[in-house]
Amino acid sequence: MSGFVEPVRLVGDRTVTLEPLAREHIPEIEAVAADGELGRLWFTSAPQANDARDWVEMRLAAQKPDTGLTFVVRGRDGALIGSSSYLNVDPPNRRLEIGYTWYAASSRRTGVNSETKLLMLGHAFDELGCVAVEFRTHYFNSASRAGIERLGAKLDGVLRSHQILPDSSRRDTVVYSILDIEWPSVRNNLRFRLDRNS
Measure the CA–CA gap between 179 and 182, rounded to whole angstroms: 5
Q: Left if phi > 0, otherwise alpha if psi is -120 to 50, otherwise beta: which for 61?
A: alpha
Strand intervals (E) in 91-153: 95-103, 132-138
C-alpha–C-alpha distance, residues 54 and 153, integer Å: 31
Report the C-alpha gap between 172 and 161 in whole angstroms: 5
- pLDDT, residue 94, reads 96
Residue 14 dihedral angles phi and psi, to the nearest 5°: -115, -65
| Vertex 182 angle, CA 17 and 162, to 5° | 80
pLDDT in tens, the chain (198 residues): 357 999 999 999 988 999 999 999 999 999 888 776 565 554 566 788 788 999 999 999 998 888 899 999 999 999 999 999 999 999 999 999 999 998 888 777 778 999 999 999 999 999 999 999 999 999 998 988 998 999 999 999 999 999 898 889 899 999 999 999 999 999 999 999 998 876
pLDDT at 165: 83
- Do 10 and 120 form a contact (C-beta atoms < 8 A)? yes
Which one-letter amino acid corresponds to residue 36?
G
Q: What is the pLDDT of residue 1?
A: 35
Q: Which residues contact 141 (CB under 8 A, 6 or more apart)?
A: 41, 43, 44
What are φ and ψ of residue 190, in 5° steps? -65, -40
pLDDT of residue 177: 98
Nearest to 134 by CA among 90, 102, 103, 172: 90
What are the backbone dihedrals phi and psi of residue 129, each rounded to the nearest 5 degrees, phi first? 70, 30
pLDDT at 110: 77
Please report the pLDDT score of residue 111 as a whole number.
84
SS3 144: helix
